[in-house]
């Protein structure tokens, strides 16, 4: 098994850029995925395959990867972006999937 590590919290003011990191040895070999979960709701994928954005996700959401760390970047943060964000990955066969501990994004 392996682990993904995220900072517990990130705070930014509206209009600024938020960056949330996720680190783990497996990320150098496997894709990472990012989910947004607002209070009382189910998660929604906002980035897949490190940097791809699903249809319907605003362009201000982007993802990048470098070595064993992936980063979710939210440019021009809006109040509605306040949520918990989780990174996720899996082994090559899909037999094991893992989430990071989650990062609470606070919009000041």
Partner 1 sequence: EVQLVESGGGLVKPGGSLRLSCSASGFTFSSYYMNWVRQAPGRGLEWVSAISSSSSYIYYADSVKGRFTISRDNAKNSLYLQMNSLRAEDTAVYYCARDGSVTSPFYWYFDLWGRGTLVTVSS
Q: Looking at beta carbons only, is 14 or 88 nearer to partner 1?
A: 88
* DSSP symbol at 60: T
Instruction: Tell me how far, at minimum, the Cβ of 19 lies from partner 1, in Å.
Output: 19
Pick the closer one to partner 1 by CB: 71 or 89. 89
Which DSSP string corresponds to 22-37? EE-GGGGTS--EEEEE
What is the smallest separation between the CB atom of 86 and partner 1, expressed in angstroms? 5
**Cβ(67)–Cβ(2) under 8 Å?**
no
Pairing of β 61-66 and β 69-74? antiparallel
Interface residues with partner 1 (CB under 8 A) are 1, 31, 33, 35, 37, 41-45, 48-49, 54, 84, 86, 88-91, 94-102
């Amino acid at each position: 098994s392996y682990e993904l590590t995220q900072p517990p919290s990130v705070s930014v003011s509206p209009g600024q850029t938020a960056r949330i990191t996720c680190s783990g040895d497996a990320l150098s070999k496997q894709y990472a995925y990012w989910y947004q979960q607002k209070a009382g709701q189910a998660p929604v994928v906002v980035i897949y395959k490190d940097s791809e954005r699903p249809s319907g996700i605003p362009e201000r959401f982007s993802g990048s990867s470098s070595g064993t760390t992936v980063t979710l970047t939210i440019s021009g943060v809006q109040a509605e972006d306040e949520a918990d964000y989780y990174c996720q990955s899996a082994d090559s066969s899909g037999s094991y999937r893992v989430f990071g501990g989650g990062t609470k994004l606070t919009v000041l």
